[in-house]
Structure 1
Amino acid sequence: MEAVTSKAERTRQLIIEQSAQLFNQKGYAGTSMQDIMAATGLTKGGIYGHFESKEEIMQEAFDHAAGIIVQLIADKIARQEKASEKLATILSFYRTYLQSPPIAGGCPVLNTAVEADDTHPLLRAKVIQVLNRLHKSVANIVKLGINTGEFRADANAERFAILFVSMVEGGIMVSKAYGDARYLHTVLQQLEHMIADNLMK
C-alpha cells in the first residue's frame, strides 16, 4: 500500500513540476492540457486522477515555482550574519537570475502577477502572499541592521523593502522585454548605492 501511495505522490509531483515550467514559459492561458500531457507523458485521465481541474494544477504549480525562489533566497540570507551582507547576497542572487533562472521562463512571481491580475483572483492572492513574504524579509533585514547598529536608526525598513522588491521585479520585467540584462543590472547597482547612502551609517 505504501508503494502505491509513493508512486501516486511521485506522479502528482511530476505533474506539478512540469506544469510549473510550462506555465512560467507559456502562461496559464497559453498552456493547454495537451501541453501538460506531452510534458508528463500522462493521459488526460491520468492527470485528472490527481487534480480536479487545470485551475488546481495552476495554483499548486505556482506554489512550487515561487517556493523554489523564496527558499533559494532564504538559504542564501541565512548564511550571512550582517544585515548588509544579507542584502548584498540577495542582489548577488539576482545578478545571474536572467542567465540561469531557477525556473525556466523567468520570475514566476512577476509572470503570474501580470497574467493573474484580472483573470485569476485566487492566483493573484497567492502572488500577494509571496510578495508580502519578500517585503517582510527585506524589512526584517533592515530592522536587524538598525538593531545591531550597522544601519542608521532613522532608516525606514518598510519603505526600503517596497522600493527594493519593486525595483528588482521591475528590472526583471524590463530586461526580459528587451532581452538585455543591463536594465536589471542597473537596478541592482542603484540598490547598492541606496544601501550605502540611505542605510549604512
Structure 2
Amino acid sequence: MSKAERTKQFIVEKTAPIFNKKGYAGTSLNDMIEATGLTKGSIYGNFVNKDDVALAAFDFNLKKVDAVIRQEMATVNTYREKLLVYTKVYENFYEFPFPEGGCPVLNTAIEADDTHPELKKKAADAIIYWKEKVVRMIQKGIANNEFAANTDPEQVALTIIATIEGAVMITKLTGKLNYRRAIMKSIDRLIHDL
C-alpha cells in the first residue's frame, strides 16, 4: 500500500464513525480535521470533496458489519443457524465490532433518502445485496429440507431485513433495549417456523 493509499485509508477509518453518528449533513470539515489531525488540504488532496469521503466512509462501515456477520456465520452449520446470526448480532451489536453509531444502512437510508442521491443508492444497494444473500440462504435451506418447500424466500428475506432495521430504529428512538430484544425474538420465531 502506497503512502497516499495509507493516508486515504486513515482518513476513512477516522471519519467513518463520525459520518455514521452525525450523518452526512451533520459532519463538518472541522469534524474531519479534528478526527484525523490533518489539514483541509491533506483531506481534500486525497478525496475530491466531502461527498467522496462520505461515500468511502459508508463503504468502510458496511464492510465492518459484513465482516461481523460473515465471522459469526462461519461458526454455524445449518442455514437456519446462519439466518439466526442476524438476530444474534443485531440484538447484541454492542458486543461486536460494529461501527460506532449503529447500522450504517439504516442511518444512511434515513438521512439520504431525499437529500443525497449517491448515498441513497449505496444504502439501497446494501439492502438489495443483503436481501439477495438471505434469499440464497433460504433457497439452499429449502433444497436441504431445512425449510418448508412452500417458503417464499424473497418475502421472508424482506420481512427479516425490514423487521431488523425497524427494531434498530425503534430502539434508537426510544432508548429501550428491551424493545429490540422483543422484536428479535419475533424474528427468531419466524426463522424457526420456516
TM-score (normalised: structure 2): 0.95
Q: Name the structure 1 match of 2:29.
A: 33
Task: Point out where structure 1 has 5 or more consecutive residues left out of the alignment.
Answer: none
Deviations 1:5-31 (A, max 9, x none): 622211111111111111111111111
Structure 1 runs (4+) deviating above 3 angstroms are 98-101
Correspondence for 1:44 among 35, 40, 44:
40
Give yes or no for contact 1:15–1:40 (8 Å, CA) kept in 2: yes
How do 1:47-196 and structure 2 match up within 5 A?
47-98=43-94, 102-196=98-192
Letter in 1 for 2:93: Y
C-alpha contact 2:64 2:97 (8 A) present in aligned 1? no
Greater Rg over alpha carbons, structure = 1
Name the SS of the counterpart of 2:131 in structure 1. helix
Pairwise CA distance, 1:53: 0.4
1:98–1:181 CA contact under 8 A, matched in 2: no
TM-score, normalised by the number of residues in structure 1? 0.92
**Distance (Å, rounded) in 2 between the aligned partners of 1:161 and 1:72:** 19
Percent identity for Structure 1 against Structure 2: 40
How many aligned residue pairs are there?
194
- What amino acid maps onto 1:24 in structure 2? N
Whole-angstrom CA distance in 2 between matches of 1:190 and 1:31: 35
- Contact kept? 2:89, 2:96, Cα under 8 Å: no
Deviation at 1:168, TM superposition (A): 0.2
What is the CA–CA distance in structure 2 between the aligned matches of 1:33 and 1:192, rounded to whole Å?
42
What CA distance in whole angstroms lies between the structure 1 residues aligned with 2:78 and 2:97?
26
Q: CA offset at residue 98 of structure 1?
A: 4.5
